[in-house]
Structure 1
Amino acid sequence: MLSPLHPLLVVWMYLLVSNRAFPVYNNGFFYHDVMDGDGNGEIYIKRVRLHVESPQPSVSAARGSNITLPCHYRYEPEINGPRRTRVKWSWLPANGAGKTAHETDVMVAMGNRHRSYGSFQGRVRLHRAAPGDMSLVINELHQNDTGRYRCEIIDGLEDESVTVELELRGVVFPYHSKMGRYHFNFLGAQRACEEQDSTLATFEQLFAAWDEGLDWCNAGWLADGTAQYPITTPREACGGVDLASGLRSYGQRHRHFHRFDAFCFSAAPKGQWTVYFLKGPRKLNFTEAVAACTTDGGLIAKVGQLYAAWRFMGLDRCDAGWLADGSIRYPIAKARPNCGPSEPGVRNLGFPPLHQKYSVYCNR
């Protein structure tokens, strides 16, 4: 004899038969009305899948230029008609690596409505060159715009994303305090690089510089809070001869208490300014050098600007001159006798007393 049906089961069967089923929730797929079976009682519902892609996982550009970070979305199979698709671009700064790093909003858009945030306000827009094109256009790139950008496409509960790395072409250079070696804590190193029109270098930037031949036997802060230094020629005083060439690392250091030098990164300029050697009838002390650049319509050049001009504009001058930090340097693109070492580079004569007489490098 059959047992009586449970009352809740009776209610459920009544709703099912009367076509008054429970509310339907979107799980992120867009279902079609057509259903296929496999002959064994299994039924599959055809569905549309959202795909988000970028043809370029990384993009490189010059400071001050305009750049497009590619991002495209599509449905598989294709669908007809518009959908209320929303795009969100966010950013993880290259100099924000570490446990406390987090993404910040750059731009959100739906249809013709959009909003940008922070330092990106007024500098970003969507490319929209074709259906599904949600590429991000950034105008007037800043030196600290580098990092990982995430393009997130949202359609209902469906959410897919892709990341694009933005790198600036630039040059890494070691920098130390006028008080001597190993005087910067982390914040001091950050500030010192910024004062020289640069930023603390990332690990990737220092690694690329080492790969291009940078050899320096003094540890410096990097943007991730580690202290490292690049060695191309192993030697006893720089980690020992038994270690292979590469980056020597002290690992994470205490950002307030530990002291090192800094590795700074100066981005390649777009060409809007020029660093030049100011010719004059006489040598100048530091105060006179600052005034001479101003009189000539410019400013006394910063260390990062001199390195960028040497690396990307071929600045070559065998004359020592004042820079804005009170140091004396000169750029050599083609090594030759009586102009320092046998390799190209920016020669550093240190921080002499400010009353001494030298020439000057200006920026205009």
Structure 2
Amino acid sequence: MADGMRRILVTGGAGFIGSNFVRWWCGQNPGQVVVLDALVYSGNRASLAELGAEQLRFVQGDICDRALVSKLLEAAAIDTIIHFAAESHVDRSILGPAAFVQTNMVGTFTLLEAFRDRWQTQGKPADYRFLHVSTDEVYGSLGPDDPAFTETTPYAPNSPYSASKAGSDHLVRAYFHTYGLPTLITNCSNNYGPYQFPEKLIPLMCVNILLGRSLPVYGDGQNLRDWLHVSDHCGAIATVLNQAQPGEVYNIGGNNQVKNIDIVHQLCDLMDDRAGELPVFPARQLITFVTDRPGHDRRYAMDIHKIQRDLGWSPQFDFSTGLKQTVEWYLTHRDWWQPLLSEEYQTFYQKLYGPG
């Protein structure tokens, strides 16, 4: 980085967190970002539509394609990989785990090998970085009174998704300790915000309320999660990239622990107030409790003292404000989410929840 500018490859940059990060980064930094995304169901080129060619080079392709990855690293003189690309929905991992092992483990391995080869070929520059974006789900489930997850909490994944992410975390860690590859790992809590595919809790509820469909809530709805606004997450990733020492791991959370059913209630009330005429009013009438997900983790909570202490980062969004902004985004961006309700999506939805 003789000119002081990172040359970044973002994998999964058309997905929810990845596209938010690319837009955030391009708003803060000059130069062009290279995005590699396979554009499977949850990747959406429209999420990056506002960026011009001087800011974005988009390549459709698979992170498991070693030849393509190596060609991109060389052609764009990449010195930094931000690795978001992953199969990430627990329900889909239960229905079909093979894709999760392939993308999350084999894909991460392929990226590490290609990046290691480039790093070694270039003389092992100290300023190269491979930042792997992971999840709190690798730590397993907490009891009501258990302390929050720290960076040293033993891994105990409970779903094919979280197991595949745990495996990819271990690969990244091993490449630092074995080869000295300058890697970083971040483990985040549940993200929310704009451009999230409508299979996840918050956009699912927003879309279903607007369509007058039932609001499926797993089990008793008491599952507890820590919620992190995606903009806060983007800032945290950039902070880790720019300040952390290679080999470090940082938990990133929003300090917002909320039960699923409480979120659904808040979303119903916000939609009642802001959406105008709804197909079903009040929206709480749509809430339907469904059979719980197999192996459903009861509680996640993140201890973020390390990133606060070492790097000076803290979340800025309180959940109430962030949730209101998110609802407004889905109300005003029907043109983004309506095309996503494809036949494949409807088939997947019915497998999980029935006709709804």
TM-score by length of 1: 0.26
Q: Which has the higher strand share?
A: 1
Larger radius of gyration: 1
Q: Which has the higher helix share?
A: 2
Structure with larger RCO (C-alpha < 8 A, sep 6+): 2
